[in-house]
Amino acid sequence: MFKKALIILSLSSVVVVPSLATQVQGAALPTQEKATTYASNKKIRNATYGEEIWVSLTSPIPAGWVIVRTLGTQNLIKNMNGASYGTEVEVLLASPIPTGWVMVRAFRGSNVIKNMNGASYGTEVEVMLASPIPEGWVMVRAFRGSNVLKNMNGASYGTEVEVMLASPIPKGWIMVRTYGGSNVIRNVNDAPNGTQIEVLQASPVPEGWIIVSSGGNSKVIRKVG
């Protein structure tokens, strides 16, 4: 009877060991999934808006994705491609800022960014000083330690706007005069050939324009093609 009990106990021990091994293997799977980097991860390429995936700290970040959290040797990245205009998301300071997004405020050691893609002409937004400036937007004024940006995409030919000295000049715009501590810029996209304009010496010369004369604080440019 005693030998029979020992045999039963031994068999029970043998059965338990594979069961534990199976549980350990099952628990390890999420860690393996988190360690996958985007370069070889089909989930990244086919991800939908808002999807989050863990990647290695050394992994490149795909265009349109942001870093929302970090843990140990991994970052949690989120797909912002397809976000609607005005969408905001909190990201880590080290996160890339997608094209067309701006930094609107700092929050608990991170930044809150906002999607300005799809904004209508003339839209203004207050951003942090370190914020990227989307293409076609200008800095119109400083406000409480931040900058106010204005969307000039869609402006008609001849439109003028007063901008800060540090403002980028959109493609096809010129600097026509200074005003106080700012510049007045004008849209010359779609100007007819032969158009001639006096601009500031510091003004960019749009593609298809030439400088016909220069002197003092200004120069004259003409569109030839």
pLDDT at 21 over 80: no
Q: Quick one: pLDDT at residue 151?
A: 98
Q: Quick one: pLDDT at residue 38?
A: 47
* Distant-in-sequence, close-in-space partners of 13: CB < 8 Å, separation ≥ 6: none
Q: Quick one: pLDDT at residue 224?
A: 97
Identity of residue 221: I
* Distant-in-sequence, close-in-space partners of 122: CB < 8 Å, separation ≥ 6: 150, 151
User: Model pTM?
Assistant: 0.79
Phi, psi of 202 (to 5 degrees): -80, -5
Q: How many CB atoms lie within 10 A of CB 198?
A: 13
Tens of pLDDT along 89-148? 999 999 999 999 999 999 888 999 999 999 999 999 999 999 999 999 999 999 889 999
Q: Quick one: pLDDT at residue 90?
A: 98
Contacts 24+ apart (CB under 8 A), 147-151: 148/124, 149/102, 149/124, 149/125, 150/122, 150/123, 150/124, 151/116, 151/119, 151/120, 151/121, 151/122, 151/123, 151/124
> Is 23 strand, coil or helix?
helix
Question: Hey, where are the domains in the chain?
Answer: 32-98
Q: How many CB atoms lie within 10 A of CB 77?
A: 26
Nearest to 219 by CA among 201, 205, 207, 203: 201
Q: Quick one: pLDDT at residue 36?
A: 42
Phi, psi of 221 (to 5 degrees): -120, 155
Question: In whole angstroms, what is the distance from residue 76 CA to residue 34 CA?
Answer: 9
| pLDDT band at residue 26 using 50, 70 and 90 as cut-offs | very low
Q: Quick one: pLDDT at residue 108?
A: 85
The first and second tokens of residue 96, run together, are: 């890339």
Q: Quick one: pLDDT at residue 42?
A: 53
Calculate mean pLDDT across residues 32-55: 68
DSSP β-bridge partners for residue 199? 219
Tens of pLDDT along 155-198? 999 999 999 999 999 999 999 999 889 999 999 999 999 999 99
Tens of pLDDT along 56-106? 999 999 999 999 999 999 999 999 999 999 999 999 999 999 999 999 999
| Strand 65-71 versus strand 146-151 pairing type | unpaired
Q: What is the enclosing helix (H) or strand (E) of 161?
A: strand 160-164
Q: Is 80 exposed, middle or buried (0-12, 13-18, 19+ CB in 10 A)?
A: buried
- Write the DSSP string, 171-184: TTEEEEEEETTEEE
Q: Quick one: pLDDT at residue 41?
A: 53
Q: Quick one: pLDDT at residue 202?
A: 97
